[in-house]
Structure 1
Amino acid sequence: MACYISLVFLLGFPAVYSGSHTLKYYITMLSTAYPGLPQYSVIAYVDDVRYGRYNSDTRHAEFLIQSLMVFSEHSEGLNKQAQLIETMQKAIMNFIMDSSNMTYDINYVFQIQAACVLHEDGTVDVYEEGALDGKQLVVFDKETVEFVPVTREAVLLAQWVNKQAFAKKYKILMENRCTQHLTLYLPYIKSYLDEKVPRVKLSSSESESGTKLHCRVYGFYPRDVEVKWIKNGRDEIHSEEAAQILPNPDGTYQIRVSVGVTPEGGATYSCHIDHSSLENPLVVLFETETKNSNITYILIAVGVIVLFLAFGLGFFIQRKMKGFKDSQQSASTNEQETALQENIL
Structure 2
Amino acid sequence: MSSSQLLLRFSLILLSVYGADGFENFVASRCVFNSTELPDIELIESYYYNKLEFIRFNSTVGRFVGYTPLGMMNADRWNNGEELPIRKGQVESYCQHNIKNWYNNILGKTAKPYMTLSSVSPPGGKHTAMLMCSVYDFYPKQISVTWLRDGHPITSEVTSTDELEDGDWYYQIHSHLEYTPRSGERISCMVEHPSLQTPMVKDWDASLPESDRNKIAIGASGLVLGLVLCLAGFIYYKKKSRGRILVPNH
TM-score range, shorter chain: 0.5 to 0.7
Whether 1:199 and 2:116 are equivalent positions in the alignment is: no
Q: How many residues align?
A: 228
2 CA distance for matches of 1:247 and 1:174?
36
Whether 1:178 and 2:86 are equivalent positions in the alignment is: no
**Partner of 1:57 in structure 2?**
none
2 CA distance for matches of 1:229 and 1:262?
13
2 CA distance for matches of 1:109 and 1:260?
52
Local SS of the residue matching 1:281: coil
Asked if 2 retains the 8 angstrom alpha-carbon contact of 1:271 and 1:283, the reply is: yes
**Given the alignment, which residue of 130, 140, 161 partners 2:71?**
161
**Partner of 1:213 in structure 2?**
133
Identity of paired residues, percent? Answer: 11
Local SS of the residue matching 2:28: strand
Bigger radius of gyration: 1
More off after superposition, 185-194 vs 258-267: 185-194
**Partner of 1:312 in structure 2?**
230
- Greater relative contact order (CA < 8 Å, ≥ 6 in sequence): 1
Question: Once superposed, what is the RMSD of the aligned Cα atoms?
Answer: 5.1
Alignment TM-score, normalising by the size of structure 1: 0.47
Asked if 2 retains the 8 angstrom alpha-carbon contact of 1:112 and 1:130, the reply is: yes
**CA 173–163 in structure 1, closer or farther in 2 if over 3 Å, else same:** same
Asked if 1 retains the 8 angstrom alpha-carbon contact of 2:114 and 2:137, the reply is: yes
The letter of the residue matching 2:89 is N
**Partner of 2:147 in structure 1?**
230
Whether 1:114 and 2:30 are equivalent positions in the alignment is: yes
The letter of the residue matching 1:179 is E
More off after superposition, 239-248 vs 293-302: 239-248
Structure 2: runs of 5 or more not aligned: 124-129
Whether 1:270 and 2:180 are equivalent positions in the alignment is: no
2 CA distance for matches of 1:231 and 1:160?
63
1 CA distance for matches of 2:117 and 2:70?
55
The letter of the residue matching 2:229 is F
Q: Report deviation, 1:235.
A: 0.9
Greater fraction helix: 1
Alignment TM-score, normalising by the size of structure 2: 0.61
Whether 1:321 and 2:231 are equivalent positions in the alignment is: no
Asked if 2 retains the 8 angstrom alpha-carbon contact of 1:273 and 1:283, the reply is: yes
